Amino acid sequence: MADIIFDDGINPSVTLPAPDYPGQAFAFLDQSIQQAMGGRITSITRGSGELKRWTLAWQSLSASNYTTLKTFFYITVSGASTQVTYTDENSNNHTVKYTGGIERARLVDYDSYAVEIQLAEVI
Amino acid sequence: MARTLSSGQEAERVKDGVKGVWMVVAVLDQYGAATTTKRWASRPYTLSSNTYEGIIAEGGIDLGMLSVKEQGGLGPVATATIRLRDEDAESTITDTHVISNDEVYVYFIFPTGSEVEGDRIEVFRGIIERNNTRNNVWTLRIKDDSKAELKQIPSKLLDPVTYPFAYSLGAVIPEAFGNHNETPDDISAGDIVSLAPARMIDKFALKAIASEHQLVGTDYVYQWYPQAEKFAQIVNASITNRVITLDDPARITFARPSRTYPGNGYTNWYDCIPPGNSSYVSIDSNNLRVWFSGLPKIGTMTSASLYIKSSTGVYEWYLYDTTVSDVSPIASSTTAAGNVTYLLTLADYEDWSSIANLHLEIRDRSPFPETRIEEASIKIEFDDFLSLVEQEPEIYQTMQGWLDSSAFYKDGSAVVGGGGSVLRNPVYILEALLRGKNLNNLEEGKIDSTSFTAAASSRTDWYFDFVMREQVSDQFLDSFCFEAGLMLFTTAGKFHCSAMDKDRTPEHFFLGGYHMPVVGSIDNPMAQQYDLEIEPINASDIYNEIAIRYAIHPATGVPQKASIASGQFRLTGTANTLEISATLTDASATFQTDDVLVGEHVYVSGDKLYTVQSIVSETVLTLTALDGGAVTTLVSATYYIGPNLNDSAFVSQLAYKSVNALGGNRQRTFIDDGGYISQFIRDESTADAFKDHCLEWFSQPRDRITFSLMHDGIRVQPGDFLFIDHPKFKASQRARQITETAEAVDAVETEIDVTTGEAGLLRVNDYIYLQESNSSPPELMQISAVDSVNSRITVNRAQCGTKAQTFSSGANIYQLTQKFVVLGVQEMTPDDTRIRIEAQIVPRWYKPIGTVVSAGYPNYAAATDVQRAASGWGTLPNGRVNELDPDSAISYAG
């Protein structure tokens, strides 16, 4: 699989190997649903579309790639302060913000980090 | 009035699946600089090229309930909280802007793709009371500031610069509303003096003013003499530009008959006391003999004369001075006809007290035609130079107050049409109180003219006549609205008015199983419950002894009249009543011995209220029904007699086992200090209307309900009237299935065939609804014609916010007769898309007629209670199954 790319549009982009568990988008519809006793169901859709949450997981990310990942999200884009273009392994672009995960990375072997990060698609 | 939506929003409202965006717009200012408009929304949103940042936090819009007072009055202030995500430091605008008291608007919109800012639905407006930031959340506390716009009124004072020679510096210049044009010299029988007080504005030039906004007309000026408890006309006073000049000392007052002289033959001698010809003593073979009242000296007497007013007949008169002779008159005429004026010797009476020595005798004379003596008095002319007056003289003027002129308002047009009239309808006066320059001085744009116009149409027969002679606060509006039966509240920056009128047409219709969301998880239908709370009114909020004391005397402030509805009775027994002779017969009674009076009220248990028309004998009365109908024929009915007995009050006192007087001050006799004293009502018809209003709305049990609506309830506002049907309601509050459609009904036809022979169960103006299935939209219709022969009804489709639907043949037709009034609305928010409604039942307005006995019912003795109630003939004459339970009037047969 092709590498993935993070790009904040200002600084040099970051390229990382594709996650072991390819980026998975979970979609939510922001909708309030009401039901009447007679069976009528009404809904008010509060968002303009689906709310998507991405999870990218690496079982064995090298120390240098781990540092690159951490530096990009912690320093370059200051966490969720700046939105990022995420180019997935299929070369599809998504506008996302980082919402966490690096802090739970574990050193599982020599030069090998298990990392799972979460991204929220900005709509 | 129901909220009006744009056509695009209205089209979305009735859809089941919609989009929704909540917006908050804040107009923030800074010292000496332009304002900054901030736009936030529940999600990133662009509307009419304006960008709304989607930073409203979770739980970020918390709207309080907008309420009105259930008994009428000015609604309480509502509050709201807005929470914004502050990661991007939105709150730092407080570094440069002073946001306190800046306006914040909360809107909702159904996005359609073509919506514009004009489509926004304003759900709250207020000002920022305070704000704080914590945990990256910027919280704005918002309060409704509409009450802050209400001032102490009237606002124009006797300031020492403009009025350096006023007596009462700092006092207000009075403001009068309605009619104050009944002088002590021309009042009719049964009427009372009504004058407007004036303030002296110049003690040296002797100038006064009663209102700067009165209708300019031919008016008269009077002075009140407390020592004599008398008004005297200031004869040569002039009124220019509404300013009274009273520098001429001439006054006129009258000494009138005060008691009878021995030999008087008329019990109604007092009918010659009031001036004018509306009351009189008809002279026959008896003599009319009366003393005149004395007066303390209140000026320098310049003339005294006897005056007799008679428009019919011929008579003899004899005036005696008891210090001279009670046998030989000091003056007389045996050929009098018409009005008589006889000048007395001034020297004999200029000490004033000698007037009390005079007594008058009037005799009929040949050829003895009908002779009416309409007035007898001693006219006293005197001078009062006011030279020694240290206190402000009490000056009064006849007038019609508050001329409806656009010049008297802050802006805009007159309240009624082109203006020029004198406002007496309390709704119109309320608008004037809000918009008048000398009053609350609000812009016309802050009045919801639609709701005021609708409320005014409910109060066309109510008249308020009052004077504001002291400054009052917004609590005055509370009292005003209570006495006028009005709910006043603010929303969307405007004052709205709603009349508590049971005959009002509802604006909405909601069905419990269709419009009201359930409580419980959407994915667990087994755990779902109806979201409905029913709470009867507190016992202490029942008022069932109503004594309205009204017509306040302009000088003494004492109410001069009373309109009473009491549950107290003085006689009771068991009697037979008979329609054909309109009689009540109680073989055990002693009506004459017990001094039963013509006009006393009689309540026949389970029937209705009557007045005694005559006392035929100790055991027989003739009755007149107050409702104009016939006397009901009854056997062994319990009756109650009392001077002010009222059926509603009586039944309420029995049912609640307590007597709660309106105003908290029970009037036990007419002359004690009890009762509710009206500040605004002067005429009898309005007092009776207010009394009836209190009885209808406050003396009977009334349920308050709380429920939720889905988004299609967004048109509901406080004060609106609703039709509701809910499976959890009491039987008396539910809609009833009357008949069925006998044909398929499309969405446009207005003639509907119903089950053969059942069209007659409905009548013109009835409201009915049909629903194809439990989950399909119901449609409310109003019947415009009933064709019993062809079993067909003609209807107006899609009433009260519903949309025309199609129905199959055999669809049930339900009749609605119970209205509710909305007391509170809590708008939906992004986190809770239910609209919370508080409502209360409206007094019964539907008077059923006809019979609905179903075939196959057993006879009365064999029927169950349910069958008796449903049959119609099993109920009491008043339609109730149980006399004390208004909710038991479920037979629908009158």
Domain containing B302 — which CATH number? Answer: 2.60.120
Please report the number of interchain residue pairs, chain A to chain B, with beta-carbon separation below 8 angstroms: 78
Cβ–Cβ contact A35 with B under 8 A: yes
Q: Which of B698, B726, B749 is the C-terminal boundary of a domain?
A: B698
Question: Are A46 and B528 inside 8 Å of each other by CB?
Answer: no
Nearest 5°: phi and psi at B652?
-65, -40
Region of residue B748 (left: phi > 0; alpha: psi -120 to 50; beta: else): alpha
Q: What is the pLDDT of residue B867?
A: 57
**Portion 46-75 of A in contact with B at CB < 8 A:** 46-48
Best mutation target among B9, B13, B710 (most A Cβ atoms within 10 Å) is: B710
Which stretches of chain B drop beneath a pLDDT of 70? 187-190, 387-389, 664-674, 847-882, 884, 886-894
Name every residue whose Cβ is closer than 8 Å to that of residue B476 and which is 6 or more positions away in sequence.
Answer: B153, B468
Indicate which CATH number applies to the domain containing B611: 2.40.30.180
Q: Which domain holds residue A22?
A: 4-29+48-121
Is B94 domain-assigned? Answer: yes
Is B432 domain-assigned? Answer: no
**pTM of the shown model:** 0.86
Q: What is the pLDDT of residue B865?
A: 54
Region of residue B352 (left: phi > 0; alpha: psi -120 to 50; beta: else): left
Is B591 domain-assigned? Answer: yes
Q: Do residues B550 and B694 both lie within one domain?
A: yes
Q: Which domain holds residue B652?
A: 546-698
Q: Give the nearest chain A residue to B113 (CA atoms).
A: A48
Q: What is the sign, positive or negative, of the torsion defined by CA atoms of B586, B587, B592, B594?
A: negative
pLDDT in tens, B322-332: 999 999 999 99
Structurally, how many domains does chain B consist of? 3
In degrees, rounded to 5, the angle at the alpha carbon of residue B544 between the alpha carbons of residues B680 and B608 is 105
Cβ–Cβ contact A99 with B under 8 A: no
Is A111 domain-assigned? Answer: yes
Q: Give the nearest chain A residue to B42 (CA atoms).
A: A46
Is A38 domain-assigned? Answer: no
Question: Are A47 and B43 inside 8 Å of each other by CB?
Answer: yes
ipTM: 0.73
Q: Which of B383, B418, B433 is the C-terminal boundary of a domain?
A: B383
Is B709 domain-assigned? Answer: no
Q: Mind telling me how many Å the CA of B712 is from chain A's nearest CA? A: 10
Is B830 domain-assigned? Answer: no
* B555/B197 Cα distance (integer angstroms): 8
Question: Are A44 and B513 inside 8 Å of each other by CB?
Answer: no
Q: Mind telling me how many Å the CA of B870 is from chain A's nearest CA? A: 27
Helix or strand (DSSP H, E) at A29 = strand A21-35
Of B16, B19, B833, the CB nearest to A40: B16
Of A30, A42, A123, the CB nearest to B16: A42
Question: Are A44 and B711 inside 8 Å of each other by CB?
Answer: yes
Q: What is the pLDDT of residue A97?
A: 92
Q: What is the pLDDT of residue B888?
A: 66
Is A64 domain-assigned? Answer: yes
* A52/A33 Cα distance (integer angstroms): 19
Structurally, how many domains does chain A consist of? 1
Of B43, B530, B830, the CB nearest to A37: B530
Q: Mind telling me how many Å the CA of B776 is from chain A's nearest CA? A: 7
Q: Give the nearest chain A residue to B728 (CA atoms).
A: A37
* B210/B115 Cα distance (integer angstroms): 54
Residue pair B225/B187 in contact (Cβ under 8 Å)? The answer is no
Structure token digits, residue A85: 């273009």
Is A77 domain-assigned? Answer: yes
Q: What is the pLDDT of residue B848?
A: 55
Is B620 domain-assigned? Answer: yes
Is B86 domain-assigned? Answer: yes
Is A53 domain-assigned? Answer: yes
Nearest 5°: phi and psi at B482?
-60, -50
Is A35 domain-assigned? Answer: no
Q: What is the pLDDT of residue B79?
A: 87
Q: Which of B350, B383, B416 is the C-terminal boundary of a domain?
A: B383
Q: What is the pLDDT of residue B668?
A: 54
Closest CA to B532 of A41, A36, A42: A36
Q: What is the pLDDT of residue B881?
A: 65
Q: What is the pLDDT of residue B893?
A: 45
Q: Mind telling me how many Å the CA of B84 is from chain A's nearest CA? A: 17
Best mutation target among B13, B15, B19 (most A Cβ atoms within 10 Å) is: B19
| Chain B residues whose beta carbon lies within 8 Å of the beta carbon of residue A41 | 16, 522
| Chain A residues whose beta carbon lies within 8 Å of the beta carbon of residue B727 | 37
Q: Mind telling me how many Å the CA of A114 is from chain B's nearest CA? A: 30
